[in-house]
């Protein structure tokens, strides 16, 4: 059985046997700084807000959380941990969490910098709203003819 390995370059490499959850665990460990801690924290909040969330690993190493479609991605950069909501422009954001990608017609993002605190209650509400939006757009199953 093959396992995921972390390359010396710092990027997680995986084969077909590595689960998305294990790859995300690996990313958190390989970051080894505040970004890893923050990614782990927001991951936990996403799971608290939506226990049935599905974790994916897409686009050569981006953690993705889904439920009836993409809720958000968790990208890490030198200066920020970025949560990009796939349909963020359609979500109410009364707490003003969205602070990036504000010009687009579809996505919205939250850039979290070192030392910043997360409004956990507002983030969970945003996650739940994204799940509700995805569920409302879900196509009904096709009926089979007898």
CA-CA distances (angstroms) from residue 25 to 29, 54, 85, 107, 120?
Answer: 6, 14, 21, 25, 21
HSE (CB half, 13 Å, CA atoms) of 52? Answer: 7
Mean residue pLDDT across the chain = 87
> What is the SS3 assignment for 98?
coil
pLDDT at 137: 83
Task: Quote the pLDDT of residue 112.
Answer: 98
Q: Which helix (H) or strand (E) holds 64?
A: strand 62-66
CA 123 to chain centre: 12
* pLDDT score at 145: 62
Q: Give the residue ranges of the chain where pLDDT is below 50.
A: 1-15
* Per-residue buried b or exposed e for 14-39, using 16+ beta carbons within 10 Å of the residue's own CB: beeebebebbbbbbbeebeeebbebb
Residue with tokens 């990208």: 75
In Å, how far are 15, 42, 82, 102, 126 from 110, measured between CA atoms?
30, 11, 6, 10, 11
Cβ pair 63, 53 in contact under 8 A: no
pLDDT at 144: 65
- The terminus-to-terminus CA distance of the chain in angstroms comes to 43
pTM for this structure? 0.82
Q: Mind listing the domains of the chain with CATH numbers?
A: 5-136 (3.90.1150.200)
């Amino acid at each position: 059985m093959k396992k995921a390995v972390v390359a010396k370059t710092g990027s997680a490499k995986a084969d077909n046997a590595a689960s998305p959850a294990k790859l995300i665990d690996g990313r958190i460990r390989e970051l080894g700084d505040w970004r890893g801690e923050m990614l782990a924290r927001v991951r936990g909040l996403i799971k608290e807000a939506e226990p049935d969330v599905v974790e994916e690993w897409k686009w050569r190493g981006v953690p993705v959380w889904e439920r009836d479609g993409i809720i958000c991605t968790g990208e890490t950069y030198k200066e920020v941990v970025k949560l990009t909501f796939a349909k963020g422009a359609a979500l109410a954001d009364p707490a003003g969490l969205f602070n990036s990608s504000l010009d687009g017609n579809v996505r919205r993002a939250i850039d979290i910098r070192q030392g910043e605190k997360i409004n956990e209650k507002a983030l969970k509400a945003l996650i739940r709203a994204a799940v509700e939006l995805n569920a409302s757009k879900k196509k009904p199953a096709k009926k089979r003819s007898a």
